[in-house]
Structure 1
Amino acid sequence: MKKNDVPQDESGLEKSNNKELCYAVNDKGEYTTIQSTGWKPKTIALDNAIQDINERINKAKAKVLNGETSPIEYYMECHKMDIGILASYVGKFQWQVKNHFNVKKFNRLSEKTLKKYASVFEISIEQLKNINYGN
């Protein structure tokens, strides 16, 4: 693709003042780099992914507020993690983290375990226990 043909469509990258580095051919036929704000197919895929993430966050929040899951699931979704990633960060097995989604088990977690989760999510233990804390 020629340098002048690199797409500059409006995208999530442009809105966040980030640009993607692309390779293109300049007037001399040499490869060079140019920044792009995005192109339509990629923008659509990015927007769909962000929408999916937001839906998962909202669903997890509703489950916490309804007492169906612990705040750990909500914060995991907010930080775009899955159980495997979260388990590795807190030094637990995946089945243990999944057990911590159980509200009764969450309410019995030790201070040490709560600190691990809070540290991973970069929040206080109070925020971990109450997703509406500080709002």
Structure 2
Amino acid sequence: MRWSELIETVRETGQYDGAADAERVTRAVLSALGGHVVGDVRVELARQLPTEAARIVADRIPAVRPLTAAEFVESVAKCLPGATPATARWDVSSVLTALTRAVDEELVDRLLDLLPSGYALLFGRAELVRAA
């Protein structure tokens, strides 16, 4: 997938008015995600993403502690002028759902294993919990 195709996928998924809006939220979300993806998963994610997206992910310094899904959405909201928690959740989900179309499913599984519980819905997936 090329960068322009990723942006178009985000635009369609999030129903944004234009490519500029989709690109703005894509950059913010990928930048935030880059701080929470480490090790082999980070390398593989960068390998499978378009060059521009890979650069955004790889340029981030790893976070000191992983954010919960809600904290992650809040951190993205702070990077998007005028965003509310609800609009930021929409933006995050639009980008991460589009990301699942750009990389293979096994990598998405590895990403979700790396991130704290609660991120699956942001990737457009159900979060299954084992019965006790």
Instruction: With the length of structure 1 as denominator, give the TM-score of the two structures.
Output: 0.27
Q: Give 1 or 2: higher strand fraction.
A: 1
Instruction: With the length of structure 2 as denominator, give the TM-score of the two structures.
Output: 0.28
Q: Give 1 or 2: higher helix fraction.
A: 2
Higher relative contact order (CA 8 A, sep 6+): 2
